[in-house]
Structure 1
């Protein structure tokens, strides 16, 4: 399969590097999908990840006998981790719970969040210095920047915590848009 490397041996470190970048980036995504309970996506990504790894490691063991190839393997691993994290941040897969603590009237924030199609719950609590309103909302990670901007425009001094959520059920959540919605006639 890699017979061309006998003619162009200088390509081996590049192939090793690129293979490891792809392999490790896919591994990062696979771990995310496993942690979110995606039982169909994780195995498919895992299959591709291991297939690429086996191809790369076979070339390393059969042809690579110099320091440049070994460094390419290590550099590809490190770069793959970095790119995997960038991809994870870019796709923003999953849902989060945001718990907001504010000394302002939380009902105003609830109304603002409802206008953005974010369901929210308000409770009252006692903080270390004053009474606080505690607002909880569950949103898609893709909506996190909008949520943070809304919170900060409402109260710059609010304190909020964001936690990953594995599943959600029986709440007020905006309907997801399908990829086909934008091409439907009459929209």
Structure 2
């Protein structure tokens, strides 16, 4: 029975590490991805060795259940880490100055565009934010403009702009402490 529990736990850890390693590779954080890959393979070989040492149907089912649970755990951890940035495009029917000012006061960089919709002029807000602040951003938008049409996606690369200037200033302040 202890072997079955160990197989399950090792599979959960292995797949969670696998999920995180893939995320770090995609985000180009290669040193951490390599370290996770090393740990991932240690856990994998150890767990597979236990399963192959005493191959039973129940052991293989537990191995597969651990795999499924590991996907869930790895995804959950990745969402909590919220590494990287998001770009949020918001379409609103009116130029909502209160929303725009609120977002800027909360530290979000907001660029406003005019656009021609089917029936009228619409306003398009383009916002770059840390993924860890996505829920805060979406709540502010919903509180001020419940009819907003929102699309959120992850940019691969960016350069310059308001957010990077703010981040550089914060990094300099932290280095002086």
Tell me what 1:164 maps to: 154
Residue 60 of structure 1, aligned match among 35, 51, 68: 51
For residues 109 and 52 of structure 1, what CA distance do their matches in structure 2 show? 49
Aligned-pair RMSD on alpha carbons?
Answer: 1.8
Query: 1:110 offset after TM fit, Å?
Result: 2.6
For residues 10 and 69 of structure 2, what CA distance do their matches in structure 1 show? 11
How do residues 100-115 of structure 1 correspond to structure 2 at under 5 angstroms?
100-115=90-105
Tell me what 1:93 maps to: 83
Instruction: Say if 2:139 is the partner of 1:146.
Output: no
Deviations 1:15-56 (A, max 9, x none): 111000000011111111111111111111111111100111
8 Å contact kept, 1:97–1:139: yes
Instruction: Say if 2:42 is the partner of 1:51.
Output: yes
Tell me what 2:12 maps to: 21
Moved more, 104-113 or 20-29: 104-113
- After TM superposition, where is structure 1 displaced by more than 4 Å over at least 4 residues in a row? none
8 Å contact kept, 1:107–1:122: no
Tell me what 2:106 maps to: 116
Instruction: Say if 2:67 is the partner of 1:77.
Output: yes
Residue 175 of structure 1, aligned match among 134, 157, 167: 167
Q: TM-score if structure 2 supplies the norm length? A: 0.89
For residues 142 and 95 of structure 2, what CA distance do their matches in structure 1 show? 14
Deviations 1:40-87 (A, max 9, x none): 11111111111100111112112x222221111001000001111111
8 Å contact kept, 1:101–1:134: yes
Q: Which has the larger radius of gyration?
A: 1
User: Gaps spanning 5+ residues in structure 2: where?
Assistant: none
Which structure dedicates a bigger proportion of its chain to helix?
A: 2
For residues 40 and 110 of structure 1, what CA distance do their matches in structure 2 show? 39
Query: 1:100 offset after TM fit, Å?
Result: 0.4
Distance verdict in 2 for CA 1:70–1:38, change over 3 Å: same
